[in-house]
């Protein structure tokens, strides 16, 4: 298989993700398997590349939440097909993010977006769903040996839950075990500083950049 031909597949996957074309992603993913093209590289250079391009369009305000959701649907459709074909030695341990919308808040659009983009950026993301209590978030982060706790809210009314997560970590002497990042409409850098979070991201693409900064660009443990 020539590099050129491989690249054609990768580009087609990337384009299909960007174009929100789930059917084409699946079709190409099956052909990748059939042609015995490296599944890991197809994910990295195809699916993830497409999602990164979509994230850029979101940042540029050309794509909005509906488009990003369909791009991520397409990406996950391809991942489902390609993931079983990844070689074991390619599976390095990636940094793990536990993500949740804090208690009392079911505005999970933002969280889904952060999850998708972090996933695409190579982090391992454990989604705790919505309306999780601060204690549950901390317990899950400990049980999962997570590196990051990411909290989101779109409501001013539920910001106290975020402070509670940091407080529980401090009281149990585990604050240093995790990076805590917060985001969402009503949140600000001031708020993040006040509750003692490690960082604040105003948007989903910014959350990816923030983690890259906090970890000096390494997604691996």
Partner 1 sequence: MSDSTINRLALKKDALFPLQRLHAYAQGLPVDRLPCVPIVGNTAARVLGVTVSSLRNNGKSLADAQVASYRRFGYDNIRVFTDLYTIAEGMGARIRVPEDETAFLAEPAIESVSRISGLRPVDPWRDGVLPEHLEAIKRVVQEVGNEVPVTAALTGPFTNASFLIGAVNLSRLVLKDPASVHSLCKLSLESALAYAEAIFDAGGMPSLTDAMSSSSVISPKQFEEFSYPYLKTLVDYIHSKSRPATLHICGKTSPIWDKMADTRADCISIDNDANLLDAKKKIGHRVRLMGNVHPSAIMLQGTPQDIRREVFKCVIAAHDNPKGFVVASGCSLPTETPFENIDAMLDAVRETGYPVNAGLLEEIVNNSL
Compare residues 87 and 190 and give the one whose CB is closer to partner 1: 190
Q: Residue 92's CB: how many other CB atoms inside 10 A? A: 9
Compare residues 64 and 220 and give the one whose CB is closer to partner 1: 64
Q: What's 41-75 look like in SS3?
A: HHHHHHHHHHHHHHHHHHHCCCCCHHHHHHHHHHH
Least distance between partner 1 and beta carbon 122 (Å): 23
Burial of 1 (0-12, 13-18, 19+ CB in 10 A): exposed
Residues of this chain that bind partner 1 (CB under 8 A):
20, 61, 63-67, 69-70, 73, 104-109, 112, 131, 155-160, 185-188, 190-191, 194
Compare residues 11 and 203 and give the one whose CB is closer to partner 1: 203
Least distance between partner 1 and beta carbon 160 (Å): 8
Residue 103 carries which DSSP code? T
Quick one: tokens of 17? Answer: 């993700």
Compare residues 39 and 134 and give the one whose CB is closer to partner 1: 134
Least distance between partner 1 and beta carbon 130 (Å): 10
Least distance between partner 1 and beta carbon 16 (Å): 15
Among 192, 15, 209, which Cα is nearest to 117's?
A: 209
């Amino acid at each position: 298989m020539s590099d050129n031909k491989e690249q054609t597949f990768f580009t087609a996957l990337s384009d299909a993700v960007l174009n929100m074309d789930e059917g084409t992603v699946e079709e190409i993913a099956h052909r990748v398997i059939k042609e015995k093209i490296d599944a890991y590289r197809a994910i990295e250079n195809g699916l993830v590349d497409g999602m990164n391009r979509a994230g850029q369009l979101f940042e540029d305000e050309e794509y909005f939440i509906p488009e990003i959701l369909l791009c991520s649907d397409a990406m996950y459709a391809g991942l489902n097909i390609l993931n079983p074909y990844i070689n074991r030695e390619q599976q390095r341990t990636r940094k793990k993010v536990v993500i949740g919308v804090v208690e009392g808040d079911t505005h999970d659009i933002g969280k889904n977006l952060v999850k998708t983009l972090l996933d695409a950026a190579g982090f391992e993301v454990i989604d705790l769903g919505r309306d999780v209590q601060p204690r549950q978030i901390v317990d899950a982060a400990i049980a999962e040996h997570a590196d990051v706790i990411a909290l989101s809210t779109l409501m001013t009314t539920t910001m106290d839950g975020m402070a509670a997560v940091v407080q529980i970590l401090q009281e149990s002497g585990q604050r240093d075990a995790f990076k805590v990042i917060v985001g969402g409409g009503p949140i600000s850098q001031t708020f993040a500083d006040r509750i003692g979070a490690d960082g604040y991201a105003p948007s989903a693409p910014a959350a990816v950049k923030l983690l890259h900064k906090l970890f000096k660009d390494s997604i691996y443990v």
